[in-house]
Each structure stands twice: as C-alpha cells, then as structure tokens.
Structure 1
Amino acid sequence: MLTREQTQQILQTADLIYSAEAIESTVQRLADEITDKLSTQCPLVLCVMKGGIVFSGHLLPKLMFPLNFDYVQISRYHNKINGGEINWLMFPQDAIKDQVVLVIDDILDEGITLAEIRKKVLDCGARAFYSAVLVDKDIGRVKSFQADFVGLTLPDRYVFGFGMDIHGAWRNLPAIYALPSEPGK
C-alpha cells in the first residue's frame, strides 16, 4: 500500500489522458449504442470488480431499459502493474443460464481477462455474450478478444483513474491519467 505522499507524487507527475468531460460524453455515447442493441433483451449486466465499478456506476443510470445486475470478480494484477495468473473471486453461475449477458469492464488491455470471462459465461449456458469497455489500450498487436462496445482508445502506457488503479490507489479520480512516458518510448 502506498503512502499519501507517494500517491500525491504519482498524480503530480502523471499525464492527463482523458478529462472527466470527455469520459462523461463517451459514457453517454456507449449508453446509446448499448440501448440500440440490447434494449429489447432484458440482459443480465455483470460488472467486473473492482475496476469496472466506476464505469458501471456512470453507465447503468443511462440505460433506460430493464436489466438485471450482478458482478464478477477476477484478478490478474493483485495491485501490481503487470498481469499474472487469473484468480476467480466471485462468479454468479446460477444467474447465467439462458441469459443475454453484458459484461462491463474498465479496460481492455491484452484481452486475457475478458476472454476468460466470456468463456465462463458461455460455458454456464448464456444465450448471448456482449462486452463494454470504457477504454481499449493500443498495445501494438492483435488481441485475442475484441469488445462489442468500446469507449476510448489509450496509448500503450500504464493508466489510472475512473476505476483503474495504480498500486490500489486513485480509482476514484474522475479523469484518466498515465504514468510519465519512459525516455525513448
């Protein structure tokens, strides 16, 4: 866990990537796209914890159709900046069968986590699977997973804010920031 001074230093040296206003307009656009596609389905919406909570909290009130809500919790980062082994913490298996499922997550990085969630959702008998991500990181190579609804594209940098954390801190920021670029990148 970082000290208050360390978290302040991180924010002071970070680069603003997307403002709160840019994010809010993007969330509205995504809500409109999701409504066009799923408003007649009464989907089960699953928030990917913890990162997807802020995005979900802004998106759900803009979805003006009936839905059911639950969450999944899967971890690959364990408060580190590099992903590791997948660890399932919570999955609502009983609620999935015969449902149209929309998974909401903060970021599509390599696609490993969302691909694993899609596999598990479909293995549990979902009728259809959709995914919405606030941001898609441009990692410079083809990913194993593509989201159905994508908000913004990010450079290949470590980002935080609006649900995404840096060593467990700064999920609560209303904007998205990146760690400073390394020289030569």
Structure 2
Amino acid sequence: MIHVLFDEAAISQRIEALAAEIRDAEPRELLVIAILRGSFIFAADLVRALHRVGMAPSVEFMQLASYHSGMASSGQVTIIKDIDNQVTDRDVLLIDDILESGRTLAFAKDLLSARGARRVMAAVLIEKPVPRAVQFTADFVGFQAPDKFLVGYGMDVAHKFRELPFVGMVEPRN
C-alpha cells in the first residue's frame, strides 16, 4: 500500500517557490543537470517553472547509480551516462529526486567542480533527515520527508511507481 505524503497541488506550489529561490541566487550561464532516473519528472517541472520566472537554462542529463535494482544503496556511485556540455566557468544546478546518504550528489558536485564549474548548486525534491554518509547540503529543498521508502513523481522501487503524480510512502502489508 502507498500512503500519499505530498499531493500534486503541494508539489506544484513548492516547485514554483523553488524556481523563485533559484532565480534569486542569480546564477550565470546556468546549466541544469538532471540526475537520472528518479529526478526526471521533478526536473521537467522545475525547468518549466524556471522559464516562468524568467530564466532560460541549458539542460543536460547525467545518470548515476548507487541503488541498482534494490531498496538499499550499494554505497558506490557509478556513472552510467555523462553530460555532453562543458561546465567550465558556468553555474550548474544539479537536480535530484531525494537526498539521503549524500553520496550521489557529492560525487556529482565534486566531479563538476573538478571540471571547472564556477558554482555547483543542488536542488532536491525530498530531503530525509538522516545522517549522511558524506558531508552534503542541498541548496534548494522541496520537502522534508520521514526516513521511509518513497515512490512516485519519478521515484521508484525496482522500476515501479515512477508514474504516480504524487510522492508516497510505501507501507508494508500486515
């Protein structure tokens, strides 16, 4: 069973506010990099919201993996698909679905910084208040959520439930 934590209206409203926060950070030559796969719906909605607040970022995709096919992180981040654009002297906004251990975003931020990005920021839809495996703080956070397994709005369990228009918590069956 899936319990709805954040419905469509709440997500939409929060994304509009996030876009304004990002605009107010005054990024220059902004390159948005969506971390696939879980962020694809959030990234699409956030990029459109950035347009509505007067921004025109370039958009790229990077696929990193630490979960593979299970519900627990393997602890090692691997690059499945890298970006094509140069990041030298650009501001970069990483977009990810969820911040838990911090490994994926810290890996991406370090990689892009080493490639010469002027500034690397991160926007996450969900942040869980759990101890991080690595030191990482997101610049823009949609929602705080309990330390439960979440699905919907792009997030999955074994490639299921990504299509749900809300963020839900998987509840064990009794």
Q: TM-score, normalised by structure 1?
A: 0.86
Runs of 4+ deviating beyond 3 Å: none
What do residues 146-174 of structure 1 show as CA deviations (whole Å, max 9, x unaligned)?
10000100000000001110111111111
Where in structure 1 are there 5+ consecutive unaligned residues?
1-12
Q: Percent identity, aligned pairs only?
A: 30
Q: TM-score, normalised by structure 2?
A: 0.91
Q: What is residue 117 of structure 2 aligned with on the other side?
A: 126
Relative to its length, the structure with more helix (as a share) is 1
Shift of 1:38: 2.9
Shift of 1:92: 2.1
- In structure 2, what is the Cα distance between the partners aligned to 1:127 and 1:62? 23
1:43 to 4, 27, 30: 30
Q: Is residue 173 from structure 1 mapped to residue 161 from structure 2 by the alignment?
A: no
**1:93–1:124: 8 Å Cα contact kept in structure 2?**
no
Tell me, what secondary structure is at the counterpart of 1:110? coil
- In structure 2, what is the Cα distance between the partners aligned to 1:115 and 1:182? 35
Tell me, what secondary structure is at the counterpart of 2:29? coil
Q: What is residue 104 of structure 2 aligned with on the other side?
A: 113
Q: What is residue 9 of structure 1 aligned with on the other side?
A: none
Query: Which residues of 2 match residues 1-185 of structure 1 at below 5 A?
Result: 13-38=1-26, 41-63=28-50, 64-84=54-74, 85-92=76-83, 94-139=85-130, 141=131, 144-180=135-171
Shift of 1:101: 0.6
**1:162–1:173: 8 Å Cα contact kept in structure 2?**
yes
- In structure 2, what is the Cα distance between the partners aligned to 1:146 and 1:43? 20
Q: How many residues align?
A: 169
Shift of 1:110: 1.2
- Counterpart residue type for residue 179 of structure 1: V
CA RMSD of aligned residues (A): 1.7
What do residues 86-136 of structure 1 show as CA deviations (whole Å, max 9, x unaligned)?
121122265111111111111101111100000100011111111100110
Higher-Rg structure is 1
